[in-house]
Structure 1
Amino acid sequence: MSELSIPQNWVLTTLGSILSVSSGKGLPQSKMVEGNIPVYGGNGVTGQHNTHSIEQVTIVIGREGFYCGSVHLTPSKSWVTDNAFITKYSDSNIDQMFLYWLLKSTDLRKNDSSTAQPVISGKKLYPTDVLLPPLAEQEEIARRLDDLLSQVDSIKTRLDKVPGTLKTFRQSVLAAAVSGQLTESWRKENTPIKINETNNTYSLSEEFDYYEIPDTWSFTPIGNIAAFQQGMQIAKSSRHEADGPNRLPILRIGNYSSQFTKDVDYIDVDSSSLIAEKDDIILTRTGESRGGVLTGYRGVFHNNTFRINFNESAILREYLIISLKNEQTQNFIKEVSGRSAQPDLTHKKFGPCPISLPSLEEQAEIVRRVEELFAYADKVEAQVKVAQERVNKLTQSILAKAFRGELTEAWRATNPELITGPNSAAALLARIQAEREAAQPKKKPRKKKA
């Protein structure tokens, strides 16, 4: 900190020269569900209580653990537990919001040497170097931060809503795809041929939420255009943590989200192994993830999934995936598999699931248009992620500029009378010191022995 350029009429000092901290009051967990007064710990609000321990807006600092050094601003009435520090300072010489943002931007764990459990104390906190501006400039910095960071928060809020909007967009695209709306103009210029079912093993389910489809389409039970192959039981004792000769990964549901980059189990394969190729479609059948469509990896598929071996003369692979991911299909799967503690999608229950079936030619056009729209959504999503990363860095960048004096450089030039002489930071620091000395209890003179 001492190597930084100190703005004119600022001073380099320590946190201990401008504030002190004291521990909050302990409160049993059972008491944190009573009343409507917020209870603050190291990680912010941790519960509600029926009374308060402080009666004014207060800056609190997390004392230990994962949230050690985190900074929060309480409402006027709250309870602060002993997992947090309560800050005390001269409110006539230190602007509260300036101090709040200063603490937020300062590494309060800089002097923490603990290894297992992070913990800070006043002794570790007080030596931390900070730059202190005059009071008028503190107020100006707080005002500008409030304005700038409010704008950042507004941008962040809008960006955070985009993934949800894109999810809705993708579902709308799938709904338009399987109902024929996506290719309405295509059908006016083409004469699609209706596909006949290859067998009549299943009848259409009455539990499906049907939607309108074109006259040239038909609803077909998926079991009449596909067969289902159950995955195999894989004993834990036969699993390996590392790849090797004649081994393949076990296609576990959780590995798809990480693209099989971590926590992958392998198994030795032989003629009895059920191996799924990259283009195969695997459907999850148990738990909360039932109905999940898995594809893109070669490996041995587990008993909690089954492979869909579809009739390629009736349905295209990509169109089948679109149909399986459609909201009505997913709702049907959730319903017929049961909502007990252990839901299970059986072949018998899944077979009657209706699939809206256009001609192969129209299926190909639907797939092309869906891929085009999804590529657009993926591009937007990637741009949003980049923007979110920039916005997250922007807050720290603004705070850094504020506490280097860069935000108020022009303001200082036009307001010299507010930052010099008795209004300087040096004079302010002297007043704080005088207040502290005056508040110290006076020692009683010792009586002389007769």
Structure 2
Amino acid sequence: MPKNWTTCTVEDLADLVRGVTYTKADAAKKLQDGHAPLLRSNNINISINHDELVFVKEERIGEAQWLCDGDVLIAMSSGSSSLVGKAAQAKIPPRETFGAFCSVLRPFPLICKRYFGWFFQTSMYRQNVSADAKGSSINNLKRSHVLSIGFPLAPANEQLRIVDKIESLFAQLDHGEAGLRDVQKLLARYRQSVLKAAVTGQLTADWRAENADRLESGHDLLERILQARRENWQGRGKYKEPAAPDTRDLPELPEGWVWASVDQMVRVFRNGLSKKPVAEKNQYPILRISAVRPMSVTLNDLRYYSPADTEDVSSYWVEKGDLLFTRYSGSAQFVGVCGQMRDSVSVLHPDKLIKLRVVDTPELCRDFLELAWNAGVTRAHIASNIKTTSGQQGIAGGDIKSAPFPLPPADEQVVIAERVWDVFEKMERLQSHCQAELARSAALRQSVLKDAFAGKLVPQNPDDEPASELLARIRAERDAAAPKKRTRKKATA
């Protein structure tokens, strides 16, 4: 650290203000007369966002609890250790307050607010609060944890030079990151357009033109699949013919295609195990609902199942080639999405996932079914049947079974799947490049901040007032402003 710098604690430079406590009766989901927006832990990231606000009665808000320009808002409690301690600085905020799971650090007048605020984006600060956060299910920071953090204090003039340099460099990084995020948005839109072209026949219009002389009737194709379904049925009880889709409002299909339902394609359709899994590892790994996303099943976050003594779980193992649908999710966009198990790994599936095994016939390409069941008319049907129960978004198995989808000839199914996955692999490489560059940019930001608070970002000026003298003035002003304690006079005899 340069010789004209000094070290102190956060307590030397700022007051800590606790957030507003309130009950459900004091709060509203929309702004009303006599209410004010209240920020919570979920509103804190690198900057403050204003999503999912709560509005509380102004009578609950103390004078010091109104957010001020330059305040540093800190998440003091969170169920996630990666979120507790997150901090963001307010910039000329609207008339807002903050909740009891947050606190605000309000810097004293003699310190540069922006300099003070940038410190709370450093890895140095994050390491301090990560080490201090404690709790069994909720991670909590105490007032003392934050106020006792060491703070590298630069001379007042150098603080201004440091802030100018940080913000100049970060503006360049912002520009580059904005370009990368624009590419990511374009890739997401392009992905949807490829899926749409795949399930409407546009993607393989050239293939059909070249193979027009050998295109078969969609009706004949579907009949052969249904015959194979009857022959290798593994369901319970007497065989029941699956219902055909209602095609009255469905668009016209290319030659050789036919509308079918999900139910017509499957020989096994089964919910999973309902007993709650455990984190302790055993011989019965089980998928989490988050393992299934559109066109993917991941195995990087498993839980484990403990069967009862007489419980038979043999029918709940997931095999390579099985298709899985999500039944429930906290987010509607992940309800009813479909992914294919591509790994040869023994794993069970929970009740919130539905396992499908398709009819064992060369007439069906699982890769095509997976993409078709995540797109177009099929996805629209599923999305329209999502219901909300106890705060969870969900869909009934019957609504998945009845979902319509376009079925092309067997050979065309393979061509569509190959073309889609070829495009997606190229897009994935671009996406990975964008992610790598964004990660590199984040690392550069930390490198800039590390140099800034080590006195290496800008040159020192020996004529600047030493930080030790600045600190002495800050302490003197703080002490002068503090209310004096009353002392009782001793009683005289």
1:328 aligns with 2:380: no
How much has 1:224 moved relative to structure 2? 9.7
Q: Does 1:344 align with 2:363?
A: no
- Partner Cα distance (2:349, 2:264) in 1: 22
Instruction: Return the TM-score normalized by structure 2.
Output: 0.67
| Structure 1, unaligned runs of 5 or more | 1-5
When structure 1 is superposed on structure 2, of 144-153 and 427-436 the one drifting more is 427-436
CA contact (8 A) 2:377 2:404 kept: no
3-state secondary structure, aligned to 1:28 = coil
Residue 84 of structure 1 aligns to which amino acid in structure 2? Answer: S
2:173 to 149, 152, 166: 152
- Tell me the residue number matched to 1:59: 71
Equivalents in 1 of 2:126, 2:288: separation in Å?
43
Q: Give CA-to-partner distance per residue, 1:288-311, whole Å, 9 cap, x none.
A: 633524433556677863534336
User: Which runs of structure 2 are paired with 1:107-146 in the superposition (5 Å)?
Assistant: 107=125, 110=128, 115-116=134-135, 118-121=140-143, 128-146=149-167
Tell me which of 1, 4, 7 is aligned to 1:13: 7
Alpha-carbon spacing, 1:115–1:255, altered in 2? closer, same or farther (3 Å): closer
What is the rounded CA distance, in whole Å, between the counterparts of 1:433 and 1:239 in structure 2? 53
Q: Secondary structure at the match of 2:303?
A: coil
Question: Which amino acid in 1 is paired with 2:265?
Answer: A
CA drift of 1:420 comes to: 0.7
The answer to whether the aligner puts 1:420 opposite 2:463 as a matched pair is: yes
Which amino acid is the alignment partner of residue 13 of structure 2? L
Task: Answer whether contact 1:231 1:307 (CA < 8 A) is retained.
Answer: yes
**Secondary structure in structure 1 of the residue aligned to 2:214:** coil
Structure with the greater alpha carbon radius of gyration: 1
Q: What is the DSSP-based 3-state SS (H/G/I as helix, E as strand, rest coil) of the residue aligned with 1:325?
A: coil
Counterpart of 2:233 in structure 1 is: none
Counterpart among 247, 267, 270 of residue 206 in structure 1: 247
Distance change (3 Å), C-alpha of 1:18 and 1:168 = same
Tell me the residue number matched to 2:232: none
TM-fit CA distance, 1:50: 5.8
State the alpha-carbon separation in 1 of the partners of residues 276 and 21 from structure 2.
47
* Corresponding position of 1:3: none
- The answer to whether the 8 A contact 1:242-1:266 is kept is no
Deviation digits for residues 370-392 of structure 1 (CA, Å, limit 9, x no counterpart): 12101112212222332332233
How far residue 276 of structure 1 moved from its aligned partner, in angstroms, is 5.5
- Report the equivalent of 2:265: 226
Q: Provide closer, same or farther for how the CA distance between residues 263 and 163 of structure 1 changes in structure 2, counting only shifts above 3 A.
A: farther
Within 1, Cα distance between the matches of 2:248 and 2:69? 56
- Judge which range, 253-262 or 371-380, deviates more: 253-262
> CA deviation digits over 1:159-182, x for unaligned, max 9?
456555434322221221222222
Q: 1:36 to 1:388 in 2, by over 3 A?
A: farther
Between the two proteins, the alignment pairs up a number of residues equal to: 424
* Paired position in structure 1 for 2:106: 87
How far apart, in 2, do the equivalents of 1:373 and 1:296 lie?
19
TM-superposed CA distance for 1:272, in Å, is 8.0
Counterpart of 1:23 in structure 2 is 17
Equivalent pairs: percent with the same residue?
A: 21
Q: Flag the 1:137–1:299 CA change in 2: closer, same or farther, 3 A.
A: closer
Q: Pick one of 116, 132, 136 that aligns with 1:99.
A: 116
Give, in whole Å, the separation in 1 of the partners of 2:200 and 2:367. 16
Q: Distance in 2 between matches of 1:172 and 1:230?
A: 30
Give the AA of the match of 2:191: R
